[in-house]
Structure 1
Amino acid sequence: MSDMFLDKFRALVPKYLGDPWKPSDGISEDELDEALEEHAFTVPLVLREFYLALGNSELMEAYHYFWDPEELEIDEEGFLMFLEDEDEQFTWGLRSGDLRVPDPIVYRKNNARGEWVSEDGTFSEFTFDMFEWVFSTAEDDEEEHV
């Protein structure tokens, strides 16, 4: 494996949680392979490395909820769903036709309307931007209460 994104994802633990990254923050290769073996699809490299780096960390449930690898599924419209917001109003996914792309474009579904719209960014771009937004919003909230 080429580890294109692994170190960047691991760096999110000290950046946002203030602790050094530990192997227990991620999922081992064997555990990940076992969790994914039931699926009839292959996950993109970026999603695989995301789980290897962060699959057991608190970041999996930082405002939005990343699905555990065994929970991943492709919906009837052909999107591999991997994330939802806490109110289940939106779901994020990747086009199943793009799963061989190392870092595919992310789409968001409005669950009430049922339509998928491009986020205009790859999984890695979307994820880094989302965590930046989540933690800058959390810091802003803390400053307001001081």
Structure 2
Amino acid sequence: MSTSLDLCEQIPLAVRGRHETWNFIRNFASSWVTPLEEADGYSESVLSATEERLGISLPAALKEAYALFGCRSDLTRNQEYLLEPTALYIDHNALIFRHENQGAALWGIRLADLQHPDPPVYHSWCEVGNVMGEWELWLGRFSLACLDLILWESLYDNRMPTEYRDSDDKDLALVEQLYSELPSFEGNDSYTPFGVRWFTGPDLLLCYTGVDLRVRTRTREALCSIRESLPGDWLYE
């Protein structure tokens, strides 16, 4: 695997537009997982059949994402699942495309926004009795929700060293001191939901959620290093 991808340098480029986002995802897959190949995306005929089944036109960004990496479960279906085209469905006036692995949350595009090439994404918690809560804005563009998805799912790839533990304010101060924070943005250029912060260091990617720390490393040596730098009860995911 290549080690040349500078995440801090590439993130500002990735948020400029959806085609730049797709380039970032290609580069991230090559550097942190395995390169994308033509067979990793769904064909135009599959996506057209989905549109016919649902009776809608899918946004351009959604079709581009599914055509690029939609078949790569290692990038998209470790924890919160990107639904396969045959599983996409409409509910509560939205096109649902992502589920939390135990059904506790949903992500969707409102039907009223489907005409936009790269529409905003909304999120809803499923409450007691599987009753959906209100839709809340997640991220301003579908492509950026895909960037968030790819980074987040990388933390749950059990083929690579991944761990997590509860965190506190002291942890955050130490993380800020030891690691480089990935650039963050507001409004339609944000690629992370509120409260989530990403950091990187040699061969590691670390996510601070406000509740816990989650880390993905490329090597066992990098995992040992973060255990020493941030001591505590790390748990294997």
TM-score normalised by the shorter chain: which range applies? Answer: 0.7 to 0.9
What is the alpha-carbon distance in structure 1 between the residues aligned to residue 215 and residue 40 of structure 2? 21
> 1:65-124 CA distances to partner (integer Å, 9 max, x unpaired)?
01111221111x211110011121000001101001011111101111521111142111
The structure 2 residue matched to 1:88, chosen from 84, 103, 106, is 103
1:72 — aligned with what? 88
CA contact (8 A) 2:46 2:85 kept: no
CA contact (8 A) 2:77 2:153 kept: no
Runs of 4+ in 1 over 3 A off after TM superposition: 3-12
Letter in 2 for 1:122: R
Give 1:117-132 correspondences, 5 Å limit.
Answer: 117-132=136-151
Give 1:1-146 correspondences, 5 Å limit.
Answer: 4=19, 6-17=22-33, 19-58=34-73, 59-75=75-91, 77-112=92-127, 113-135=132-154, 136=205, 137-139=214-216, 143=223, 144=227
What is the alpha-carbon distance in structure 2 between the residues aligned to residue 97 and residue 56 of structure 1? 27
What is the alpha-carbon distance in structure 2 between the residues aligned to residue 12 and residue 42 of structure 1? 29
Cα-Cα RMSD? 2.5
CA contact (8 A) 1:9 1:50 kept: no
> 1:43-67 CA distances to partner (integer Å, 9 max, x unpaired)?
1111101110112112231321011
Stretches of structure 1 lacking an aligned partner (at least 5 in a row): none
Query: TM-score by structure 2 length?
Result: 0.53
Q: CA deviation at 1:125?
A: 1.3
Q: CA deviation at 1:138?
A: 4.5
> 1:19-40 CA distances to partner (integer Å, 9 max, x unpaired)?
2211111112123223332111
Query: TM-score by structure 1 length?
Result: 0.82
What is the alpha-carbon distance in structure 2 between the residues aligned to residue 46 and residue 93 of structure 1? 13
What is the alpha-carbon distance in structure 2 between the residues aligned to residue 61 and residue 86 of structure 1? 9
CA contact (8 A) 1:109 1:117 kept: yes
SS for the counterpart of 1:42 is: coil
Inter-CA distance 67–97: structure 2 relative to 1 (3 Å threshold): same
What is the alpha-carbon distance in structure 1 between the residues aligned to residue 149 and residue 30 of structure 2? 16
Letter in 2 for 1:139: R
Inter-CA distance 139–121: structure 2 relative to 1 (3 Å threshold): same
